[in-house]
Structure 1
Amino acid sequence: MKLLEAMKERILIGDGAMGTLLYSYGVDRCFEELCLTHPDQVLNVHRAYIEAGADVIQTNTYGANYIKLARYGLEDKVKQINEAAVQLARKAAGDEAFVVGTIGGIHGTQSLLGSKEEIKRSFREQLYCLLMEKVDGILLETYYDLDELIMVLDIAREITDIPIIANVSMHEAGTLENGMPLAKALQELEKHGADVVGINCRLGPYHMVRSLEEVPLLDHAFLAAYPNASLPAYSEGKLEYVNHPDYFRKCAQDFRDEGVRLIGGCCGTTPEHIRALAEGVRGVTPLAEKQVEEKPHPVAIREKRSKKEKPLHEIAKKRHSVIVELDAPKHLHTEEFLDGVRALKASGVDAVTLADNSLASPRICNAAMATLVRQECDMRPLVHLTCRDRNLIGLQSHLMGLHTLGMHDILAITGDPTKIGDFPGATSVFDVTSFELIKLIKQFNEGTSFSGKSLKKSTNFSVAAAFNPNVKNMEQAVKRLERKISFGADYFLTQPVYSKETIIELANATKHIEAPIYIGIMPLTSSRNAEFLHNEVPGIKLTDDVRDRMASARGDKDKSIEIGIDISKDLLDTALEYFKGIYLITPFMRYDVSVKLVEYINSRLNNDLKGVHAGDIQHT
């Protein structure tokens, strides 16, 4: 009897976690490699699950693809590992169980692990290896990204007609991370040819059963569920699953009542959990009919941005715009900072930007200072947000906080490495990249959190991204810029530029880009400052002419400032000719220098405007 024929007649029991059991044996390495190095251990796990009552076992190939094996230097062993894995499962199963070839998802919380084309190539290679070994079916499991799952499902369905089980994973009960209800997602998988659709990982039985309550029986696909043992506990540096297997015996009937035909286990489950599931549905017939009461899913309220405050990227598309960076203090004396903001406001800048612990040195929280900037100075803040200091939980909490405080302008950046700061031993987080942070912020604008849960309100962030034009290959740098646009970036702020030629080259390379670009200009204050930036700060290079001009005033503080301002004015002349956005970076709290440059910009623009009017009059 074949797999789907058996599922028509009865509820089948899947196996449990492979990694959990191997880890309990003291194995802490690439589990898939054990198919080659320690085959007996893998074989024993398969046999333990079959003895516990599993009708369907999966090959030890969850991460046996090129992309994931490359992390262990095993990318050239894709064929050998997958072949050995099927052979071991076959040896254990005999005529007692079906063998399905497992292929795990690539995109999890790190959605940039592989491009679409890389995932397709990697998937095809692994799929062919499994099919050559004559598996009874294919199990696609732990896919948080529905688009990725549909992409590989389409490939598999085109290549083979054997049964395909497609399981999604959820952060929140009943909702995928893209905000789609589970029922709709499973219906989509059915349309794309999956024979069995379901859920696995992340959630325990309770939340999986609750999620399935809104899922009707499908016309052309059976339902599956592979819950985790429980929520993990953290003990002595290890994650442990403490759920007693007897609980699974009670839950087995609940899964049956929701129409599930294939029940197994995921993280934390053992042969005892599988034995309990088998006992829980012994002699029970599958559900034939099911009534589902559709529950309304919350829709985020879309709030409009104040008409008085247009997004910066819209401003920079219509007229010249100037923003100035003023770092939050490293101490608790804030008066000088606020005096600087007031001076910049009086000069007419569009916004004051606040770095997020620039150069990896602790400063007053920029969200707190941004609140003071708005409340005490009536000035618009542009808040920088790094991937370095906050995990995925903290980033989302911070975004909700910024929205609640009325902050709508964000610069999403990676952040300077901790090794260059005051605490080089501090840990960098980097749960997400700057690309993913941009995407997350735009997802908030749709009223959806990373997990897919409704925020009940949508944010209205305008998202800036960083761009470094001080590179040897401008074409490659622009491709990176274009990729950030594809993730949702609205406009860009560049690293400080000290070359007119670089500004012109950037203008020519980005003629096709509609997103505004603010050219970064940071006045030099001394020859030592110039040499430090040129030789020690990544992403900044000065021309020989600039360094020579600063060196000519070595030892004369006032003269150095004067030359630094003159150099900035020369650069501004070129920047204003080619770009509408100017991003002034205040050096060492010398906001008086930034004010002088803003005044210079205003005079230049006013003179240009007078010239236009004079030309109009003469032409008339």
Structure 2
Amino acid sequence: MSLVEDLKSKVLIADGAMGTLLYSHGIDRCIDELNISKPDEVLKVHQAYLKAGAQVIQTNTYGANYQKLARYGLEDQVKEINQAAVRIAKEATNLNQNAYVLGTIGGIRGIKKSVASLGEIKRSFREQLFWLLQSEVDGILLETYYDFEEICTVLQIARHETNIPIIAQVSLHEVGYLQNGMELSDALFQLEKLGADVVGMNCRLGPHHTIRSLETVPLPQKAFLSAYPNASLPQYVDGEYTYGGDDDYFEKSALALYKEGVRLIGGCCGTTPRHIAAFARAVKDKAPVLEKVLPERKVQVQLKSSGSSTKHVYKKAKTTRSIIVELDPPRHLDTTVFFAGAKALKEAGIDALTMADNSLATPRISNIALASRIKNDIGVPPLVHIACRDRNLIGIESHLMGLHSLGITDLLAVTGDPAKIGDFPGASSVYDLNSFDLIKLIKQFNEGLSSSGKQLKGKTDFSVAGAFNPNVRNLDRAVQRLEKKLAAGADYFISQPVYSEEKMVEIYESVKGLDVPIYIGVMPLTGARNAEFLHNEVPGITLSEQILTRMSACGTDKLKATQEGMAIAKHLIDAAFDLFNGIYLITPFLRYDMTVELTKYIHDKEAQRKERKVFNG
């Protein structure tokens, strides 16, 4: 029986990431070349996935083409590497004689078409395809194609050369849309018309956003749907990428993918046999979904654009309770909601408005531009994040001088999420500095010196905050990082959102010896899916089982979910109120109405506290 015949009556489980496991074995060179130099290591990975329940495995050939192998001087070994890969994968199927082996060919272009011309892509693709077909694979897997022109081109070549099953998978930066702006449903429809037997998506997005993307995709008329999500958003810790995601979440995700009509479910970056085993448990013996009702399309309304000196906020936090609110800069040119939010938050009485610097490696309107406007036009003190990811040392020094010239003096120094997790995974993460280095540099500017020791002919007056992630297993280690940032010159700290009273107390006990303000993070939840996503896929955020249950009980009732999210946030503020002098409110999805209400709630609590103090003498 062929793969396509099997998919007519079954939901099949594919394997997960190859590189993730090989890297965990201490291997850090060209992965495709390992088919020749370390075939046993590759074999072990295939066997681990088959033991976990995979019925479809892919050859270790994602980058085994002329273009990519040339980076390592291996461009003349395309034949040997691809043939060895198929041989190893077939040997692994001795564990399951019914398993299928797909010959994998990865995309070459990322965000830059200039990486390779279509002519170069065609020549490279034909060579790799030839050797995979000569080795008699059971199907061809085209995966991680960001450029739609590229996947259409290679798919047509493959369909012309062979009748074996072809799986064509695109990769997305945004939920439901390709990087050229095409809707996922339209793209998959076109790939089906070009002859793909299975169409779907892989990489870049974790389970949550993969499921959301597929919600608007109808069942194909002839082809079948596939999905290979990443494990989660990766964290960049001590120079390495790490992924999360627990088994229960992946079982739930597999069920959700199944309900969207997916017939072939596998994993991409960060996934391991543990994740694949969870997928297999979830859909075992389930008959495929044959009918699917799509949600009604929402009509989006295009809004028209709209058109005091800064204080050091940490100084107030040393003497009284203060409130910082984060309001993300828009990812588009419409600033109407952003400035309406800034005005409403000023009226509510916040002490500073903080703006991230392209958070999650996603481009937004420059926070320095928005900071200047809210400072001058609205009168809200801005607190500007600076990420080390997007600028080299030259750019960072220029940026600091620009901030000083604008009279913006409150900063938050962060290393920044790696470009790999953002809208443009092919973009470079600079990282000339890390957050510790940046704090030191900012303080050096306050002494009138550049990084090279050059006189700046003046001194800046920056206060600098450090980021604090308390949602870790080893809180003592996180506090040691704070102490290191203090030594570098940090004036105060701003934490990731915390969703547990017990955690609040634990944090307080751990940091009370630090003689600086700590702004404890509180972010209201907006719904059950929002809660699941934050808990399972966003690095540095952990929700308690009780909160997940409470949000899940709201179902799809948006009003009820908002009310429950606000109730949870107020409860957390109550827990933090007498422990920390600063509250850091994070606005979800520009829902500034929620942070306005929480700001007023904090002020009311502060007024009540003062009244009690006066009453008690």
Provide TM-score, normalisation by structure 1.
0.50
In the alignment, does 2:104 pair up with 1:125?
no
Bigger mean CA deviation after superposition, 294-303 or 75-84: 294-303
Aligned partner of 1:163 among 157, 162, 165: 165
Structure 2 residue aligned with 1:29: 29
C-alpha separation in 2, matches of 1:129 and 1:392: 39
C-alpha separation in 2, matches of 1:170 and 1:77: 31
Structure 2 residue aligned with 1:13: 13
Residue aligned with 1:88, SS: helix
Matched residue pairs, number? 335
C-alpha separation in 2, matches of 1:280 and 1:51: 16
Structure 2 residue aligned with 1:177: 179
Structure 2 residue aligned with 1:66: 66
- For 1:85, the aligned partner's letter is A
Structure 1 residue aligned with 2:531: none
Deviation digits for residues 561-608 of structure 1, max 9, x if unmatched?
Answer: xxxxxxxxxxxxxxxxxxxxxxxxxxxxxxxxxxxxxxxxxxxxxxxx
Residue aligned with 2:47, SS: helix
C-alpha separation in 2, matches of 1:77 and 1:214: 42
Structure 2 residue aligned with 1:397: 365
Change (3 A) 1:422 1:53: closer
Report deviation, 1:4: 0.5
C-alpha separation in 2, matches of 1:299 and 1:117: 41
C-alpha separation in 2, matches of 1:213 and 1:116: 32
Runs (4+) off by over 4 Å: 297-303, 390-396, 398-402, 417-424, 449-452
Report deviation, 1:250: 1.7
Report deviation, 1:14: 0.2
- For 1:191, the aligned partner's letter is K
| 8 Å Cα contact 2:15/2:58 also seen in 1 | yes
Structure 1 residue aligned with 2:315: none
| 8 Å Cα contact 2:146/2:171 also seen in 1 | yes
C-alpha separation in 1, matches of 2:423 and 2:205: 16
Structure 2 residue aligned with 1:190: 192
C-alpha separation in 2, matches of 1:35 and 1:394: 35
Report deviation, 1:300: 6.2
Change (3 A) 1:419 1:244: closer
In the alignment, does 2:234 pair up with 1:232?
yes
Can you give the 5+ residue segments of structure 1 that lack an aligned partner in the other structure? 304-389, 406-416, 425-448, 453-620
Provide TM-score, normalisation by structure 2.
0.50
- For 1:239, the aligned partner's letter is Y
- For 1:221, the aligned partner's letter is A
Change (3 A) 1:157 1:299: farther
1:36-55 to structure 2, matched below 5 A, reads 36-55=36-55
C-alpha separation in 2, matches of 1:118 and 1:145: 15
| 8 Å Cα contact 2:174/2:423 also seen in 1 | no
Report deviation, 1:13: 0.2
| 8 Å Cα contact 2:111/2:424 also seen in 1 | no
| 8 Å Cα contact 2:363/2:423 also seen in 1 | no
Structure 1 residue aligned with 2:201: 199
C-alpha separation in 1, matches of 2:23 and 2:204: 18
Bigger mean CA deviation after superposition, 294-303 or 187-196: 294-303
Structure 1 residue aligned with 2:220: 218
Residue aligned with 1:261, SS: strand
C-alpha separation in 1, matches of 2:10 and 2:157: 29
Report deviation, 1:110: 3.4
Structure 2 residue aligned with 1:4: 4
Deviation digits for residues 521-542 of structure 1, max 9, x if unmatched?
Answer: xxxxxxxxxxxxxxxxxxxxxx
Identity percentage of aligned residues: 57
Report deviation, 1:111: 3.0
Change (3 A) 1:300 1:62: farther
Structure 2 residue aligned with 1:152: 154
| 8 Å Cα contact 1:170/1:451 also seen in 2 | no
C-alpha separation in 2, matches of 1:135 and 1:293: 38
Structure 1 residue aligned with 2:260: 258
| 8 Å Cα contact 2:247/2:275 also seen in 1 | yes
C-alpha separation in 2, matches of 1:256 and 1:129: 34
Q: Could you say what the CA RMSD is over the residues aligned between the two structures, in angstroms?
A: 3.3
Structure 2 residue aligned with 1:96: 98
Change (3 A) 1:257 1:76: same
Report deviation, 1:96: 3.2
| 8 Å Cα contact 1:167/1:199 also seen in 2 | yes
Structure 2 residue aligned with 1:86: 86
Change (3 A) 1:421 1:168: closer
- For 1:397, the aligned partner's letter is I
Can you give the 5+ residue segments of structure 2 that lack an aligned partner in the other structure? 306-357, 374-390, 399-421, 426-617
1:476-495 to structure 2, matched below 5 A, reads none
Change (3 A) 1:23 1:287: same
Structure 2 residue aligned with 1:356: none
Report deviation, 1:234: 2.0
Deviation digits for residues 282-331 of structure 1, max 9, x if unmatched?
Answer: 1211101111124246486799xxxxxxxxxxxxxxxxxxxxxxxxxxxx
Bigger Cα Rg: 1
Deviation digits for residues 346-400 of structure 1, max 9, x if unmatched?
Answer: xxxxxxxxxxxxxxxxxxxxxxxxxxxxxxxxxxxxxxxxxxxx99958763499
1:508-527 to structure 2, matched below 5 A, reads none
Report deviation, 1:128: 0.5
